[in-house]
Amino acid sequence: MVRPRRPVPAADGPMTHTLTPEERRERRLILALLTPALAVVGVLLIAPLIWMGWQSFQGPDGFSLMHYQRFLTDSVYLSSFIQTFRIAFVVTLAALLIGYPIAYVAAKSEGIWPPIILGMVLVPFWTSVLVRAYAWLILLQRRGIVNSALQDLGLIDRPLLLVNNEFGTTMATLHILLPFMVLPLYAAMKKIPAELETAGASLGGNGWLVFRSIYLPLSLPGVIAGSVLVFVLTLGFYITPELLGGGRTFLVSMLVSRNIELYNEWGAASSISVVLLLVVFAIFRLASMLIPFERIMGTK
Amino acid sequence: MQNQTGSPLLVRAFVLIALLWLIIPVLIVIPMSFSSARFLAFPPPGWSLRWYQAFLGSPEWMAAARTSLIVAVAASLIATVIGTAAAYALNMSQSKLVRSLQVVLLLPLVVPVVITAVGVFLVYAKVGLIATMTGLVLANVMLGMPYVITSVLVGLRKFDPTQEMVARSLGMNRWRAFFTVVLPQIRPSVVTGTLFAFISALDETIVALFISGGENQTLTKRMFTALRDEIDPTIAAISTLLTGVSFILVLLVAANARTRK
């Protein structure tokens, strides 16, 4: 990064040195440019989050832990969190197993192939989530395409229950989130110099050994970034469990929305949000010990 | 010896199947939308345009489409201006404190959207922005801004800041230097950010479920409600049109990325 450094010490400490008028103008400008963006996020996101944090500790008569006690006593809470984590694990693992080869082949191939492969990843990525959820409904429902094809082939007698359950939810969520795995993986793999592998091979390593000892470790930042994104996004997913879950998947996101839409229970909804948010932050925190946060979010 | 540039045949076969699995669900809605039948049979028993007529001829669907389009255009443009300004400031500042604000500005991408939706609903209920166009636009500005900031920051980091310093040492003020020297060079990044913000707003469903209503319902909210009730091929027609829009946007982004080189 080319960045001219001023000789003065970092400007965020206590102001021990006097600022030149030029520096003061610069600071005011930075502040002015950031203000609209910070105002939008501050008013629409951070302020309500703080309010929800406070509200989650409010009972009928002031301070109370009643909303958090439900996590221990209400079995719906527990089963909802368990189901959400189970689906998130399955989706992340499957996305890694499917996404890694896709990114690998795209990074390794030449000529017209990388844009074609990436295009086939990007078109679904840019297609509305609702459209993709709808497509899976068409494919997986009782008299849907998959069932009728299997019946025509004589593989099954009665239609399989593929949708309105956890299977349908998992399938559609995986399909929707797979690009979030492929894209960071591809970015990480493109940074691996091809000469390293040639060198490994020339020293006598066979394909698998070279892959395992050189390529795989160097692609790990992409693995971490993709896995974190997919896992965290699944934890908060709402549309697929709602449309394809058929009432049998009751994820944390639905627990939040039901508490507000049906019961107007702000305290309960707030406490669930706080717990979910803490989990998400903890995952990002852990991941950022391994690779910079900016790299997970793709700014670097 | 294995070919160093390619990948094993088995891996390539697996990838082909995976890519088909990715793309087929997106394409399957297209034949369904031209079906003559009410039920979703594949292949369709006959062909017709009735579901397109059902969409284009319905005042409710058209109003929803109009709302979504206005929201997406307004929100992506505002997010572009605000986000580019913020990214420029983040990149310019030497202060660690200011640079750490980047994490705060990317929060809308990190916080699960349901929680964001509940929060926005809460604020809007207090200030009376529920079911208003302004409310929808503002919420989507917040959700789209991180894409602009990310994309512009990437552009600014590739940009050589000495060019701007030269322009300013030759007497240009910051504004002129930005608009005549910096902006033309980071324009592809800005455009990519705008397109991402646009698609994010067009696709946004969850916040709209909470805050849109009455005359200002978005297309996605209507689709979601329709999907929860019954599966009607009208949705297939709308889906096909939406997929067409995203396909055009992918091509735009690709063309835009090419100009960057």
Q: Mind listing the domains of chain B with CATH numbers?
A: 58-229 (1.10.3720.10)
Q: Kindly indicate the confidence band of residue A148, based on its pLDDT and cuts at 50, 70 and 90.
A: confident
The amino acid at B8? P
Residue A143 has pLDDT above 70, yes or no: yes
The answer to whether B128 and A298 are in contact (CB under 8 A) is: no
A43 found inside a domain: no
The Cα angle at residue B84 between residues B171 and A179, in degrees rounded to 5: 140
Residues 94-153 of A with CB under 8 A from B: 98, 101-102, 104-105, 108-110, 115, 117, 119-124, 126-139, 141, 143-145, 148
**CA–CA distance, B253 with B245 (Å, rounded to integer):** 12
A170-220 confidence digits (pLDDT tens) = 999 999 999 999 999 999 999 888 887 778 777 777 778 888 888 888 899
The answer to whether A281 and A236 are in contact (CB under 8 A) is: no
The answer to whether the Cβ–Cβ distance between B18 and A10 falls below 8 Å is: no
A1 found inside a domain: no
A16 found inside a domain: no
Q: Which residues pair with B35 in a beta bridge?
A: B47
Please report the pLDDT score of residue B6 as a whole number.
63
B196-231 confidence digits (pLDDT tens) = 999 999 999 999 999 988 888 999 999 999 888 777
**CA–CA distance, B87 with B83 (Å, rounded to integer):** 6
Contact list, B239 vs chain A (CB under 8 Å):
128, 130-131, 134-135
The answer to whether A35 and B123 are in contact (CB under 8 A) is: no
- State both tokens at B106: 């990317």
Please report the pLDDT score of residue B209 as a whole number.
94
The answer to whether B80 and B200 are in contact (CB under 8 A) is: no
Domain extent for A284: 67-296
How many angstroms away from the CA of A25 is the closest CA of chain B?
Answer: 11
Q: CATH number for the domain including A111?
A: 1.10.3720.10
B60-99 confidence digits (pLDDT tens) = 999 999 999 999 999 999 999 999 999 999 998 878 888 7
A38 found inside a domain: no
| Crossing angle for the helix pair B133-158 and B59-92, to the nearest 10 degrees | 40
Residue A50 has pLDDT above 70, yes or no: yes
Please report the pLDDT score of residue B4 as a whole number.
45
Residue B24 has pLDDT above 50, yes or no: yes
Please report the pLDDT score of residue B104 as a whole number.
92
Averaged pLDDT, A54-71: 90
A58 found inside a domain: no
Residue B5 has pLDDT above 60, yes or no: no
Averaged pLDDT, A63-70: 90
A257 found inside a domain: yes
A246 found inside a domain: yes
Tell which residue, A19, A265, A96, has the closest CA to residue B118.
A265
How many angstroms away from the CA of B125 is the closest CA of chain A?
Answer: 11
User: Cis omega (within 30 of 0) on the bond before B43?
Assistant: yes
> Which of B141-176 are b and which e, b meaning 16 or more Cβ less than 10 Å from the residue's Cβ?
bbbbbbbbbbbbbbbbbebebeebeebeeeebebee
Q: Which of B33, B38, B116, B122 to mutate to test the interface with A (most CBs of A within 10 A)?
A: B122
Residues 6+ apart with CB under 8 A from A101: B7, B11, B14, B15, B18
Contact list, A127 vs chain B (CB under 8 Å):
26, 242-243, 246
Please report the pLDDT score of residue A163 as a whole number.
83
Sign of CA dihedral A129, A133, A134, A138: positive
- What is the total count of domains within chain A? 1
A19 found inside a domain: no
**CA–CA distance, A223 with A88 (Å, rounded to integer):** 16
- Element (DSSP H or E) covering residue A62: strand A62-63
Q: Kindly indicate the confidence band of residue B260, based on its pLDDT and cuts at 50, 70 and 90.
A: low
Please report the pLDDT score of residue A151 as a whole number.
85
Reading phi first (left if > 0) and then psi (alpha if -120 to 50, else beta), residue A291 is in beta
How many angstroms away from the CA of A39 is the closest CA of chain B?
Answer: 10
Q: Does A192 touch chain B (CB under 8 A)?
A: no
Averaged pLDDT, B126-131: 93
CB-nearest to B111 from A45, A120, A148 is: A45
Q: How many CB atoms neighbour CB A254 within 10 A?
A: 20
Q: pLDDT higher for A10 or B251? A: B251
Give CA torsion, residues A124, A129, A131, A132, to 10 deg: 60
- State both tokens at B260: 């960057």
ipTM: 0.87
CB-nearest to A120 from B19, B96, B236 is: B19
The answer to whether the Cβ–Cβ distance between B40 and A119 falls below 8 Å is: no
Averaged pLDDT, A34-43: 96
The answer to whether the Cβ–Cβ distance between A10 and B95 falls below 8 Å is: yes
Please report the pLDDT score of residue A11 as a whole number.
46
Please report the pLDDT score of residue A299 as a whole number.
53
Please report the pLDDT score of residue A8 as a whole number.
46
The answer to whether the Cβ–Cβ distance between A232 and B12 falls below 8 Å is: no
Tell which residue, A194, A184, A178, has the closest CA to residue A222.
A184
Query: In whole numbers, what is the pLDDT of chain B averaged over residues?
Result: 88
The answer to whether the Cβ–Cβ distance between B104 and A46 falls below 8 Å is: yes
Q: Does A44 touch chain B (CB under 8 A)?
A: yes
The rounded Cα A120 to chain-centroid distance in angstroms is: 20
Q: pLDDT higher for B52 or B6? A: B52
